[in-house]
Amino acid sequence: MFKKILYPTDLSEVSSKALSCLVEMKGSGIKQVILLHVISQSEAESTSEYHHHLFPGIHLETPAKGVAEFLKEVQKAQEGEAREGLAPFESALQDAGFEVKIRIERGVAKLKILQIEQDEHVDAVILGSHGRSNLKEMLLGSVSEHVIRHSKKPVIVVKR
Ligand X SMILES: Nc1ncnc2c1ncn2[C@@H]1O[C@H](COP(=O)(O)OP(=O)(O)OP(=O)(O)O)[C@@H](O)[C@H]1O
What residues numbered 74-113 form the site for ligand X, per CB under 6 A? 109
Of 132 and 146, which CB lies nearer to Mg ion in the complex structure? 132
Classify residue 81 as exposed, middle or buried by CB count within 10 Å of its CB (0-12, 13-18, 19+).
middle
Distance CA 30, CA 96 (A): 11
Total site size for Mg ion, rule CB under 5 A? 3
| Residue 8 binds which of Mg ion, ligand X, none (CB < 5-8 A, kind-dependent) | ligand X
Distance CA 152, CA 46 (A): 26
What residues numbered 21-60 form the site for ligand X, per CB under 6 A? 36-38, 40
Measured in residues, the chain has a length of: 160
| Residue 151 binds which of Mg ion, ligand X, none (CB < 5-8 A, kind-dependent) | none
Distance CA 15, CA 31 (A): 20
Of 51 and 127, which CB lies nearer to ligand X in the complex structure? 127
Interface with ligand X includes 133 (CB under 6 A)? Answer: yes
Out of 101, 103, 132, 153, which residue is the one contacting ligand X (CB under 6 A)?
A: 132
- For residue 92, the one-letter residue type is A
Distance CA 56, CA 156 (A): 44
Out of 8, 131, 147, 151, which residue is the one contacting Mg ion (CB under 5 A)?
A: 131
Strands 32-40 and 124-128: unpaired
Of 78 and 134, which CB lies nearer to ligand X in the complex structure? 134
Distance CA 149, CA 133 (A): 20
Total site size for ligand X, rule CB under 6 A? 23
Residues engaged in binding ligand X (CB under 6 A) = 8-10, 12, 14-15, 18, 36-38, 40, 109, 127-128, 130-134, 141-144
